[in-house]
Structure 1
Amino acid sequence: MSEETSNGDYEYISYRTYNGVGFERLMSWKASKTGTGRVSAGKIEMKPQKSDVDKENEVLLVGHSVVVHKMEFKLVRKD
């Protein structure tokens, strides 16, 4: 299973966990208009991210996972 979004672009994710990998990635998302969207990231403890605002190129550290629920989300390898 890929640990990035398709074609390095935004996609609607109803629910998915992206596992930690051995390199940094960049997360971006579009604000959840309904208030039901969620993005949580971390290694041991998953910390909720502010999902009611657009976010661009937030660094996801090496080994950290991210859980996405009902969001337009993008995850790409950091160059």
Structure 2
Amino acid sequence: MGFDGGLGDVQAGGDLLVGQALAALTGSRMITLNGAFRHGVYLAAGNACVDTKVAGYLADGVLPGEDVTCGRPAV
């Protein structure tokens, strides 16, 4: 649960069940990493977009203003 009463989630683009459930919650936000197919991408996927958004929330307790979709870097 967020400090402001909202919920947040970080998920892989291929992990659809969590996103569908979270989308039904008012005031929730989701950070999705496209092209990832596992649960738990914060700090584990090495994606600056995801890591920066989550670290910002952990530092100040404010959820992003809207859902965020992060892309995978080209390999």
Flag the structure with more relative contact order, 1 or 2, with Cα contacts below 8 A and sequence separation at least 6.
1
Of Structure 1 and Structure 2, the greater helix share is in 2
Q: TM-score, normalised by structure 1?
A: 0.27
Rg (Cα) greater in structure: 2
Q: TM-score, normalised by structure 2?
A: 0.28
Of Structure 1 and Structure 2, the greater strand share is in 1
